[in-house]
Amino acid sequence: MTDSMSYDPSLGVAFVNGAYGPLAEAAVPITDRGFLRSDATYDVTHVWKGRFFRLDDHIERFQASMRGLRMSLPLSSSEMAEILTECVRRTGLRDAYVQMTCTRGVPPAGTRDPRLCQNRFYAFAQPFVWIANEEQRRDGLRMVVSSVQRIPPESLDPRIKNFHWLDLTLGILEAYDNDAIVAVLNDGKGNVTEGAGFNIFAVKDDVITTPDRGVFEGMTRRTVIELAGEAGVTCQVRPLPIEELRDADEIFITSSAGGIMPVTVLDGRIYGNGKPGSVTSRIHDLYWAAHKAGPLCTPVDYEAAQ
């Protein structure tokens, strides 16, 4: 990948092997265990109206995921932040999806020992990614409770963000088979967990509940928990039975790739006359208001490109 600026940077900029270049040309060695074995971790932050949201928290979580997989990089938190910021600067994008990845790396010839790999860092920025289109964000998503069981935390701690999405992908296909857009997976014990790239919340009598186990602890999920009091509701983090979800007054999902998104149809049943509920709407507005200024925001200096 070259460091040339002859391409259109607004389509995406990547950082690979110490150089910045077109996202479309970014590549991972085919023998990297990150590709061959899904032996990698990553984190995704975003820039909205020229400001990173919770950048330091995302980097801290990324480093925790690396520790959980016994990976390390010769980069400090500030150096990672500068690389991510430079990717965004070079794109010129005011609304961007920004990802950092650590792969296990390429093993020496003749060995499968992951300890002998040199871990690799990749980063990129591209136009903001929505997991729901404008109509779905306005009117709500169609969801199913999937028959697929989420990989249990006894096998892999879901708090470590990873590329192993086969169970989640099977859930997506099941949703499509049932005229829905998203699926929430079960834990094999009668509770819901999460879906592909999102956490779930149920609203009942001004109490919001989100699963406490078997889920990735998303940054948008964390923000909702922190904003609950301001929204005038109580938040409970505990097991969420499937039947309790179905009995909810409102349902919404959360993701860095979309924020707060209402679910207005679950397993064919329409909620809230097919429109977002009042609690969901309040939390949605508070979430995006938090992007305008304050301690969770890090402005991008677009004039300081290297």
How high does pLDDT run on average in the chain? 96
* Average pLDDT of span 232-237: 97
Classify 248 in phi/psi space as left (phi over 0), alpha (psi -120 to 50) or beta.
beta
In the predicted model, is pLDDT for residue 280 greater than 80? yes
Classify 84 in phi/psi space as left (phi over 0), alpha (psi -120 to 50) or beta.
alpha
Nearest to 101 by CA among 116, 115, 87: 87
* Average pLDDT of span 190-210: 97
In the predicted model, is pLDDT for residue 4 greater than 60? no
260-273 tens-digit pLDDT: 999 999 999 999 88
CATH number of 9-127: 3.30.470.10
* Helical ranges in the chain per DSSP H: 33-36, 55-68, 77-91, 134-139, 166-177, 219-227, 242-246, 278-289
> In the numeric block, which tokens belong to residue 83?
């690389």
149-189 tens-digit pLDDT: 999 999 999 999 999 999 999 999 999 999 999 999 999 99
Report the distance separating Cα 139 and Cα 125, nearest Å.
Answer: 29
User: What does the pLDDT read at residue 273?
Assistant: 85
User: What does the pLDDT read at residue 1?
Assistant: 58
In the predicted model, is pLDDT for residue 147 greater than 90? yes
CB 128 within 8 A of CB 183: no
In the chain the first and final C-alpha atoms are separated, in Å, by 17
Q: At which residue do the structure tokens 């989640």 appear?
A: 168
User: What does the pLDDT read at residue 251?
Assistant: 98
Report the distance separating Cα 218 and Cα 202, nearest Å.
Answer: 16
* Average pLDDT of span 8-30: 97
Give residue limits of the domains in the chain: 9-127, 134-289
User: What does the pLDDT read at residue 188?
Assistant: 97
Q: At which residue do the structure tokens 């509701």 appear?
A: 233
Q: Across the strands, what pairs with 99? A: 44, 124
88-118 tens-digit pLDDT: 999 999 999 999 999 999 999 999 999 999 9
User: What does the pLDDT read at residue 3?
Assistant: 52
User: What does the pLDDT read at residue 7?
Assistant: 86
- The per-type count for the chain, helices as H runs and strands as E runs, is 8, 15
Nearest to 141 by CA among 98, 83, 181, 183: 181
User: What does the pLDDT read at residue 221?
Assistant: 98
Q: Is 134-289 in the same CATH topology as 9-127?
A: no
DSSP state of 114: G
Least confident range of 1-5, 22-26, 127-131, 264-268:
1-5
CATH number of 134-289: 3.20.10.10
Nearest to 39 by CA among 14, 68, 59: 68
In the predicted model, is pLDDT for residue 6 greater than 80? no
> In the numeric block, which tokens belong to residue 116?
């002998």
In the predicted model, is pLDDT for residue 5 greater than 80? no
Where do the DSSP E strands lie in the chain? 13-16, 19-22, 40-48, 51-53, 96-103, 120-127, 141-149, 182-186, 199-204, 207-210, 234-237, 250-255, 259-266, 269-270, 297-299
> In the numeric block, which tokens belong to residue 11?
């389509």
Residue 143 CA, chain-centre distance (Å), reads: 18
> In the numeric block, which tokens belong to residue 195?
């879906």
Report the distance separating Cα 191 and Cα 177, nearest Å.
Answer: 22
CB 138 within 8 A of CB 131: no
pTM over 0.85: yes
User: What does the pLDDT read at residue 88?
Assistant: 98
